[in-house]
């Protein structure tokens, strides 16, 4: 094994961080500052310094500079890759004096021992300080035989881009490994359940390569040909490599072998559970997470993973219990708070969900997903402004967060900001051109703004992306109907029904279109089906009542209007239409009572005033009739029929001039509305009076 100076006492974290800062350099692309990595000063000869780093940091063929701990920028004079490993030796020249890293004994970096990973994160939208130094402690998961790219040590440190090539230090501030990359494993694609660990190459393995390359580190190496039986760690590392290659069955086999060698290998149980989950063996996955917990009751990852698995299986309460335990073990476990919030939201606990998302944000202020989901919970509680604020913050953090734009569009639409909603849906579509829901909802906003053609275009695109979107067909039918294309509308409603035979709204809308085309029997059949699906659909009762009335079934119509009123006692149109049917059956007082009730519910219901005026006139109450017609005209100054009817009463009362004025106004409006027969009738009334 590596022979170094006599071991010193364990150092404090502050002392180790100071050592790390003095031996770590930043390696930066001269043309692109976001392309960077880290390195370790390992040797000096005169003015020549050697830096150890991960080869992938500099393998792009670009020009790189080495920025030393004092901020000086130095040209790289040599790059020497080490064979078969993600490692390279860089050289630079400087007359300044820099600290040289001390090499530690990698063999002592065994499972569960503490290590410190250091480096300079790359410049990003969230990290723009070039002097930000990453220093984080963690525990070794495995230390075994080198695998792909020479990696052979794993530690539970979620590292950042740019820290590749940085040192992994022991508790004496000695380098025991070179950090290479981050590994990710997750339970399902839906959940924010990534487990991020670091992986690197032990300094023991590095020193062997450097010795073979003729580079002297100043340490003695043990024999490199000592044969030994594979360790549990070796199989664990192999399993991780296979998992990264999505060879889940191979990974399971290796994790199982690690467990056979070490039946208490908690990390192997945990990762085998993840691989089993990816293969669909959900019960096996939960069994592995449970075993990991039995071995190590303070393993927050195992609780978290079991919670994610339980959540995906629909056991939200069990998931919440596991996330809660993970949080108790690690109070800063941001993903545990986030996923517990999701589970609480799915159980209807919106306030609890908001509390969890808020805590996740406090721990990680750049967590766009937490803002997005907190916005969703706030929107469900009616806090639209708060929701918009959260979605906006998510967008600021991640300008390409299509979901945040989409959700903000929903909130804006609910607040009546249709233009703002359209802008958000449009941005969501630009980011994700196959977002059928964004097209669908933009269609709704456009329809509400009167842009029926634009709405049809959006619904059509939503259908192209998702041909089984019944709501898109239904809404496109509605827009087509508004544009007068009743046949096209019926075709769309029919397709919506084929996709979703229990879509009451599609039956109702098709009934309206059929009624408009004169197919009253077909309309009644559709309204009846809508009622069977949704017995409390007051609109369907009203529509069927109208169709029955048109077919002469006044009693049936009254029964339907009455049912609509029972469902919705403030349904003014149902009272108005029942009044018409009652009048047709000779129930004049009942008709007037219905018109009056419609007016009480909706004091601006011009048609109800007009109908009550007709009833009052026929009952001889001409003054009451004139008052009703006058009120209808005040509400709707273009209500030609109300002018005409008032003219008739005024003529009956001998108010010749007033009658002429009313008939003239009615004629003018009928002409504008291209109602030729009504226009002619109004002219005839004028001629009779002149």
pLDDT tens-digit readout, 362-382? 999 999 999 999 999 999 999
The residue with tokens 């079934």 is: 553
| Poorest-pLDDT segment among 41-45, 377-381, 446-450, 466-470 | 41-45
Q: What are 26's strand-pairing partners? A: 38, 67
Residue 145 has pLDDT above 50, yes or no: yes
Answer whether 590's CB lies under 8 Å from 580's CB.
no
pLDDT at residue 31 in the model: 83
Q: Tell which residue, 607, 528, 513, has the closest CA to residue 563.
A: 528
The per-residue pLDDT for range 563-610, each reduced to its tens digit, is 999 999 999 999 999 999 999 999 999 999 999 999 999 999 999 999
Tell me the pLDDT band of 3, cut-offs 50, 70 and 90.
Answer: very low
* Helical pair 486-499 and 470-482, crossing angle rounded to 10 deg: 170
Q: Tell which residue, 262, 208, 201, has the closest CA to residue 235.
A: 262
Tell me the pLDDT band of 60, cut-offs 50, 70 and 90.
Answer: confident
* Buried residues in 474-499 as b, exposed as e (16+ CB within 10 A): bbbbbbbbeeebbebbbbbbbbbbeb
Tell me the pLDDT band of 146, cut-offs 50, 70 and 90.
Answer: confident
| Residue count (the chain) | 690
Alpha helices in 153-265 (DSSP H): 203-212, 232-244, 248-261
The per-residue pLDDT for range 281-310, each reduced to its tens digit, is 999 999 999 999 999 999 998 999 999 999
Highest mean pLDDT among 74-83, 138-147, 610-619: 610-619
Residue 55: other Cβ atoms inside 10 A: 22
Q: What are 251's strand-pairing partners? A: none
pLDDT at residue 214 in the model: 65
Question: CA angle, 292 as apex, 287 and 297 as ends, to 5°?
Answer: 125
Answer whether 501's CB lies under 8 Å from 470's CB.
no
Gap between the Cα atoms of 178 and 42, Å rounded: 12
Question: CA angle, 655 as apex, 654 and 657 as ends, to 5°?
Answer: 130
Q: Tell me what the mean pLDDT of segment 45-62 comes to.
A: 87
Q: Tell which residue, 634, 596, 628, has the closest CA to residue 610.
A: 628
Gap between the Cα atoms of 100 and 88, Å rounded: 17
DSSP secondary structure letter of residue 141:
E
The per-residue pLDDT for range 150-208, each reduced to its tens digit, is 787 888 777 778 788 888 988 888 898 889 877 655 555 444 444 556 777 777 767 76
pLDDT at residue 4 in the model: 34
Instruction: Map residue 510 onto helix, strand or coil.
Output: helix
pLDDT at residue 1 in the model: 27
Find all residues with CB under 8 Å of 289, minimum gap 6, and list them. Answer: 269, 270, 273, 302, 303, 305, 306, 309
Residue 678 has pLDDT above 50, yes or no: yes
Higher pLDDT, 56 or 343: 343
Q: Tell me what the mean pLDDT of segment 391-398 comes to.
A: 96
Domains identified in the chain and CATH numbers: 1-218 (2.40.10.120), 235-365 (1.25.40.10)
The per-residue pLDDT for range 499-544, each reduced to its tens digit, is 999 999 999 999 999 999 999 999 999 999 999 999 999 999 999 9
Highest mean pLDDT among 150-164, 215-229, 629-643: 629-643
pLDDT at residue 26 in the model: 92
Residue 129 has pLDDT above 90, yes or no: no
pLDDT at residue 381 in the model: 97
Q: Tell me what the mean pLDDT of segment 328-356 comes to.
A: 96
The residue with tokens 């029919």 is: 494
Q: Tell which residue, 341, 404, 323, has the closest CA to residue 377.
A: 341
Tell me the pLDDT band of 9, cut-offs 50, 70 and 90.
Answer: low
pLDDT at residue 220 in the model: 56
Mean per-residue pLDDT over the chain, rounded: 90
Q: Tell me what the mean pLDDT of segment 235-243 comes to.
A: 89
Gap between the Cα atoms of 482 and 153, Å rounded: 67
Instruction: Map residue 561 onto helix, strand or coil.
Output: helix
Residue 227 has pLDDT above 50, yes or no: no
Q: What are 93's strand-pairing partners? A: 48
Answer whether 165's CB lies under 8 Å from 57's CB.
yes
pLDDT at residue 144 in the model: 74
Q: Tell me what the mean pLDDT of segment 476-491 comes to.
A: 96
Gap between the Cα atoms of 239 and 147, Å rounded: 10
pLDDT at residue 130 in the model: 58
The residue with tokens 């499972």 is: 111
Sign of the C-alpha dihedral computed for residues 473, 478, 479 and 485 taken in this order: positive
Answer whether 355's CB lies under 8 Å from 343's CB.
no
Answer whether 575's CB lies under 8 Å from 594's CB.
yes
DSSP secondary structure letter of residue 534:
-
Structure tokens at 134: 């990453």
* Buried residues in 548-587 as b, exposed as e (16+ CB within 10 A): bbeeebbebbbbbbebbbebbeebbbbbbbbbbbbbeeeb
Q: Tell which residue, 585, 647, 646, has the closest CA to residue 612.
A: 646
């Amino acid at each position: 094994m590596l022979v170094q100076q006599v071991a010193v006492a364990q150092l404090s974290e502050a002392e180790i961080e100071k050592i790390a800062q003095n031996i770590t350099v930043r390696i930066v692309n001269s043309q692109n500052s976001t392309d960077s990595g880290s390195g370790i000063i390992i040797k000096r000869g005169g003015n020549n310094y050697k830096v150890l780093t991960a080869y992938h940091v500099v393998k792009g063929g670009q020009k790189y500079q080495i920025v030393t701990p004092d901020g000086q920028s130095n040209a790289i004079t040599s790059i020497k890759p080490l064979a078969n490993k993600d490692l390279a030796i860089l050289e630079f020249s400087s007359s300044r004096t820099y600290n040289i890293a001390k090499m530690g004994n990698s063999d002592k970096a065994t499972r569960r021992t503490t290590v410190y990973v250091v480096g300079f994160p790359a410049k990003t939208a969230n990290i723009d300080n070039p002097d930000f130094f990453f220093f984080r402690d963690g525990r070794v998961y495995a230390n075994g035989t080198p695998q792909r790219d020479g990696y052979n040590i794993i530690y539970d440190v979620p590292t950042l881009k740019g820290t590749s090539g940085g040192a992994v230090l022991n508790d004496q501030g000695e380098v025991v490994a070179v950090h290479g990359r981050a590994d990710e494993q997750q339970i399902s694609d839906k959940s924010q359940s990534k487990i991020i660990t670091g992986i690197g190459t032990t300094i023991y393995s590095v020193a062997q390569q450097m010795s073979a390359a003729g580079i002297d580190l100043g340490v003695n190496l043990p024999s490199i040909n000592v044969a030994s039986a594979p360790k549990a760690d070796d199989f664990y590392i192999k399993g991780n490599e296979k998992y990264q290659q999505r060879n889940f069955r191979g990974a399971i086999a290796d994790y199982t072998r690690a467990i056979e060698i070490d039946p208490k290998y908690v990390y192997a149980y945990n990762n085998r559970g993840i691989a089993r989950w990816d293969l669909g063996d959900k019960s096996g996955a939960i069994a592995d997470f449970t075993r990991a917990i039995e071995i190590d009751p303070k393993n927050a990852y195992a609780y978290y993973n079991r919670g994610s698995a339980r959540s995906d299986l629909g056991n939200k309460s069990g998931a919440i219990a596991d996330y809660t335990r993970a949080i108790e073990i690690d109070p800063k476990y941001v993903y545990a708070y986030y996923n517990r919030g999701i589970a609480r939201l799915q159980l209807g606990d919106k306030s609890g969900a908001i509390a969890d998302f808020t805590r996740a944000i406090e721990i990680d202020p750049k967590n766009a997903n937490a803002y997005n989901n907190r916005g969703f919970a706030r929107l469900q509680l009616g806090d639209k402004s708060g929701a918009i604020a959260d979605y906006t913050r998510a967008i600021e953090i991640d300008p390409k967060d299509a979901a945040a734009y989409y959700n903000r569009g929903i909130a804006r639409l609910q607040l009546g900001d249709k233009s703002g909603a359209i802008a958000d849906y449009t941005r969501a579509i630009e980011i994700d051109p196959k977002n059928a829901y964004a097209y669908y909802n933009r269609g709704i906003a456009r329809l509400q703004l009167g842009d029926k053609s634009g709405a049809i275009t959006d619904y059509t695109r939503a259908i192209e992306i998702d041909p089984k979107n019944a709501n898109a067909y239904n809404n496109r039918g509605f827009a087509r109907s508004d544009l007068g294309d009743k046949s096209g509308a019926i075709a769309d409603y029919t397709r919506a029904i084929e996709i979703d035979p229990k879509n009451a709204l599609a039956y109702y809308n098709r009934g309206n279109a059929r009624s408009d085309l004169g197919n009253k029997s077909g309309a009644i059949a559709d309204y009846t089906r809508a009622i069977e699906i949704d017995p409390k659909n007051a609109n369907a009762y009203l529509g069927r009542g109208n169709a029955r009335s048109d077919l002469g079934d006044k009693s049936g119509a009254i029964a339907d209007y009455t049912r609509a009123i029972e469902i919705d006692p403030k349904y003014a149109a149902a009272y108005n239409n029942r009044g018409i049917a009652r009048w047709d059956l000779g129930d004049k007082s009942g008709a007037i009572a219905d018109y009056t009730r419609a007016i009480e519910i909706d004091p601006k219901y011009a048609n109800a005033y007009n109908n009550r005026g007709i009833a009052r006139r026929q009952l001889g109450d001409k003054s009451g009739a004139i008052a009703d017609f006058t009120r209808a005209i005040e509400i709707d100054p273009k209500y030609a029929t109300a002018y005409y009817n008032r003219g008739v009463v005024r003529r009956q009362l001998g108010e010749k001039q007033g009658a002429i004025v009313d008939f003239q106004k009615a004629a003018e409006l009928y002409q504008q509305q291209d109602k030729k027969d009504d226009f002619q009738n109004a002219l005839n009334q004028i001629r009779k009076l002149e």
